[in-house]
Amino acid sequence: MKNTIFTGAGVAIITPMNEDGSVNYEALGQLIETQIANKTDAIIICGTTGESSTLNDEEHKECIRYTIEKVAHRVPVIAGTGSNDTAYAIHLSQEAEAMGADALLLVTPYYNKTSQRGLIAHYTAIADAVNIPCILYNVPSRTGVNIAPETVQALAEHKNIAAVKEASGNISQIAKIFALCGDKIDVYSGNDDQIVPIMSLGGKGVISVMSNIAPLETHTIAQLCLDNNYPEAAAMAAKYLPLANGLFLDVNPIGIKEAMNMTGFPAGKCRLPLYEMEEEKKAKLRRILADSGLIK
């Protein structure tokens, strides 16, 4: 059994942008403080929701450094350092470790993809190069490659591979990971609409988009699961299901940034090629936010 990085709700935090498209560090700092004040259990910086794919190398490193310094050990900071180039993922992972990251989030290689044997070699090479816990990130809808449960089982033997963020949406596959791996690897839900089912199987929590705008509510759903109060957790998850789904009316993180802008938080726009949400979808999202009590 390995040490668990965190339990509960970790936020896949957005990267706020200024009007000119540069990173708005002041707003990022405000958001981090709001998250911690509302019981978020971990901060995940430079993930998909943080637009890591359009941050340049220096911005990527500076966002990680800024977050580590701002959080100041109050909750774990998990740095997104995955890449479809193993050598670059190793470089970025070592940089994040040197800056003081508590753990790494490593997406599967995208576009060039690889075989299951290639995934084992890729992740092993990164995990061998660092001395902090690594979280595998399985999101085949974006990357075009799925981590098979048997591959997770093989990787779970590595001392530095501590968890998997499962965003495949395939509950049967996730159940098989638990069956094959037992307590050798932790599982986090990568989807806000699957917190309760995944945690009921033994998951430790969620890496959440919804936490950006509803941190206390997302934390509470996860905590109820940890407290084995699944009826109340399920009822609360059902209440916030329209919000969880509404944030994905467009490609993530378009929805969450639009929603946060609607609440008055200066999230800014997404960088191209992600583009502004259509007016019809904005109107629907605004209604969902109002129904959830997040705006008037």
Active site residues: 137, 165
Q: Kind of pairing, strands 205-208 and 134-138?
A: unpaired
Q: Kindly state the greatest CA–CA separation across the chain.
A: 52
The whole-angstrom separation of Cα 117 and Cα 112 is 14
